[in-house]
Amino acid sequence: MSENTQSPAAEAAESPATKVALVSGGSRGIGRATALRLAQDGFDIGFCYRSDDQAAKELDAEIAGLGVRSLAVKTDVSDSNSVRAFVAETEAALGPVDVAVTSAGITRDNPLLMMPDEDWNQVIDTNLNGVYHVCRAVIFEMMKRKSGSIVNISSVAGVYGNATQTNYAASKAGIIGFSRSLAKEVGRYGIRANVVAPGFIETDMTAGLNEKVKKQALQSIPLRRLGRAEEVADLVSFLVSERSSYITGAVFQIDGGIII
């Protein structure tokens, strides 16, 4: 019987082959669940968050408790300099980035007739430009190393559209076009780029929905429940692993079968 009682994650942390995953919007919800899941998979984790230092500190400690290295960096993904600094700090502390997952996102819902320019711009700047900034900042190192996996978090709203979400749906549809184009561009470098499009997932983002909207949503979901962030993280884990080595440019809906 082996004397080695270390967890797989702890073993991976000591191995020079430990891979590095970068997660945007890691402090909460889907990003948080993804950071934890990839840490369990043995990745060192560099994650960014916008404002909640306490939540980031707790996650940082939780990841380190899994026996891998963790780095939390306060970053505004809508700002390219801020993202470049986040990626540079991650590379300096943990090594080159093997995997990037973009989960940072916001909603500012309004019918188009009432949409303030600021809400339109903030959503596009965070959700779509944020994905561009992260991918732009990691791609050169991945190309040099001829490997990498990127998973961008879109939404079913980006596939089907959703009333009062023209800004959000446009940003999320943009992520799909962006990722498919990127997959075509960098496939020959051994880099994969895929999209995960969740339906209604129980996180802070959906906690604010009123009861009427939640009830309507449940009626349109054949599985009759909201999804869990861990279920999305499980799909991301598959998509960044070798188990999905022939999948790129694909859009995966994870939505309980929602009919919009």
- Give me the active site residues, please: 168
- Please state, as a whole number, how many other Cβ atoms lie within 10 Å of the Cβ of residue 111: 10
192 lies in the binding site for ligand NAD (CB under 6 A):
no
> How distant, in Å, are the alpha carbons of 52, 91, 246 from that of 48?
10, 13, 29
Q: What are phi and psi of 198, to 5 degrees?
A: -75, 155
- Which token pair is 63? 């990841």
Among 70, 90, 103, 253, binds ligand NAD (CB under 6 A): 103
What span, in angstroms and rounded, lies between the C-alpha atoms of 140 and 2? Answer: 41
- Closest distance to ligand NAD from the beta carbon of 47 (Å): 8
Among 149, 203, 237, 253, binds ligand NAD (CB under 6 A): 203
What span, in angstroms and rounded, lies between the C-alpha atoms of 200 and 31? Answer: 15
68 lies in the binding site for ligand NAD (CB under 6 A):
no
Interface size with ligand NAD, residues (CB under 6 A): 28
- Which token pair is 196? 């995960």
By beta-carbon proximity to ligand NAD, the closer residue of 115 and 205 is: 205
- Which token pair is 118? 């600021």
204 lies in the binding site for ligand NAD (CB under 6 A):
yes
By beta-carbon proximity to ligand NAD, the closer residue of 185 and 204 is: 204
Q: Which amino acid is at 33?
A: A
What span, in angstroms and rounded, lies between the C-alpha atoms of 195 and 152? Answer: 5
- Closest distance to ligand NAD from the beta carbon of 107 (Å): 7
Taking CB under 6 A as the rule, which mask of x and - marks residues 104-123 in contact with ligand NAD?
A: xxx-----------------
Residue of 152, 137, 53, 123 whose CA lies nearest to 89: 137
- Closest distance to ligand NAD from the beta carbon of 157 (Å): 7
CA 240 to chain centre: 11
Among 18, 70, 129, 155, binds ligand NAD (CB under 6 A): 155
Among 13, 42, 46, 78, binds ligand NAD (CB under 6 A): 78
> DSSP label at 113?
G
Among 195, 200, 256, 258, binds ligand NAD (CB under 6 A): 200
Of residues 24 through 43, those in contact with ligand NAD by CB under 6 A are 24-25, 27-31
CA-based Rg of the chain, rounded to a whole angstrom? 18
CB 195 within 8 A of CB 177: no
- Closest distance to ligand NAD from the beta carbon of 76 (Å): 5
Contact positions toward ligand NAD, by CB under 6 A?
24-25, 27-31, 48-50, 75-78, 103-106, 126, 153, 155, 198, 200-201, 203-206
